[in-house]
Chain A
Amino acid sequence: MTHLPADPETETGLAPSAHRPSRWRAAWDSDIAYSFRHSPVAMVAAFVTALLILSAIFAPLIAPTNPFDPSSLNLMNGFSQPMEPNAFTGDTFLMGTDDQGRDVFSTILYGMRISLFVGAMAVLLAMVLGITLGLIAGYFRGWTDTIIMRIADVQLTFPSILVAMLIFGIARGIIPIQYRDEMAIWVLILAIGLSDWVQFARVVRGATMVERGKEYVQAAQLIGRSPLSIMVGHILPNVLSPVLVIATISLALAIIAEATLSFLGVGAPPTQPSLGTLIRIGQDFLFSGEWWILFFPACTLLALALSVNLLGDWLRDALNPKLN
């Protein structure tokens, strides 16, 4: 309806480049940063996410004990209540201890490392797979498209947790028993990653079909650039912003999927417990009154998934030109 002309400075196109703002200044001034600064929810979510990620990265420095070093454990400390001195040893634990006297706070910090690592790697795998297949399907159309997208449709008819369990089960069957525990994390990543590629592929395919029709792609075809270099060099950079949004939301989902699998006992082994494993362990004690063993890992999972998800929601709105 209304045509807002470009900034008068850019309108001439010849404005002296001398007073171009610095990169940092430009980033601070950009619309996305502006939207961030005006969204309290996004700021809180970003703060919580950053706090959790940093504390996971620096867990060895922050954690008061190393929960996986048997020599540092004292069985006498078992079932200490949060913030109360243990009846036998007199040690105090912020979030209490579990049955074996492991500090819950420390296990959470270490557990979060596993959860985040598995989540991030799984999303990365799903992203690489989804982007590749989506680009190919959207660029070539026809039979290639039909085959890829039908596979995606079939996979979507199964709940993704079922797909992940199936992949997990098959992988366990293939891997020799002595490697199982050390491979468990990678199997988990593969299982979650493979169950999650479809939505990346769908979004990328749609965006690719739109970009493919644009004239800059024809300009590249005209000089005989190969389909691969057009897909990677020209189309990919233009379809990445929706991918970024899905990746963020997927990260929250992957963390939850990992927790679910671990809770069901098909995920991270007890020697490398993730948040989901901790919740499963804590569940055994819930009805005998040792609530903290379950409560604190569950809260952490909630905070992590929620803040990442809110961040994804904000990013989706901020990148949507229709909502600005």
Chain B
Amino acid sequence: MAQIFLDEIAHSYLPETQKEDEYALKRIHNIWEDGGAYALLGPSGCGKTTLLNIISGLLVPSSGRVRFDDTDVTDLPPEKRNIAQVFQFPVLYDTMTVFNNLAFPLRNRGFDKDYIDRRVREVAQILELEPFLNKKAAGLGADAKQKISLGRGLVREDVAAILFDEPLTVIDPQLKWQLRCKLKEIHEKLKLTLIYVTHDQVEALTFADKIVVMYEGWIVQIGTPQELFEYPNHKFVGYFIGSPGMNFIPCSMEDGKVKIGNSLIPVDETTARLANAAEGKLELGIRPLYLNISDTPVDGAFEARVKGVEDQGSHRIVTVDFEGHPLKARIAENDTVPQGKAYLTFPIEWIRLFADEHLIKENKEN
């Protein structure tokens, strides 16, 4: 068990790199708490697998250091780092039985036979693999195979962290849910540090205590699912988290209010003050969930035109045209959907302003 400290990590796959664009990872500096369940979330190619491989030791970063607790492990090979990794596709030793697969990492480290036997049975019990112990690993289903991959990490008591690289890609949807629960259970029981790479926000939100959102080689935000939803640090987080993503409308400030087209939307004083001082392209962001929409004119509402409705089962998504910008709003299933004209209200507490794609907020917080 260990705290993982990434000290100014940067990585490029090219041998000589000058330009920032060429880095797959750009200056990552943060601490992963012992016993935390982290999800590394981001689109394909954002550098999340690169970061994972740097932590596991499969890659040596171009610059920066990796520390586990107080030990510098940057130059240590993976087998010396006490980490385990579960890959996207099940990696098994096909010719061995499940038992031998689980025993393999211990045998390689020269543990005695009784200890190995006891550990393997313990882990097999946790993972519900006991019935298969004497079967050839090759013949099992994808979910059992991923459990074995995970088990090869769990058998080692000294393991500091288990890293997952999109481990549920090949698993059937209904089994995905079961395996995620199992993971959660194991995390609570064993208090291991888990780092879970995924591009699926549902997976990240249900699995992790803290989500690390990556975008183009940067970590753009680390936070609880709620923090990411309510205070996205960056436009990308707003887009990427939530379904559908946050609405963004270009705007300007006038008289302490947000001006979009001819409409003036009131915001609270602090936000207005910060927005006036901010430089760069100004945008208003609001979650579809918090954008109120009604079919009759209400006080302080703005007129918009309904463009379409999407039924999503438990709720509906209404797309409206507001001052020439498309906006999405989420309404409950039994609410009436406005026809033609609709009236929008922007609750003051849910309005977020972004300057040059970054959230405008007071510096002292966070």
Do these two chains really belong together in a complex? no
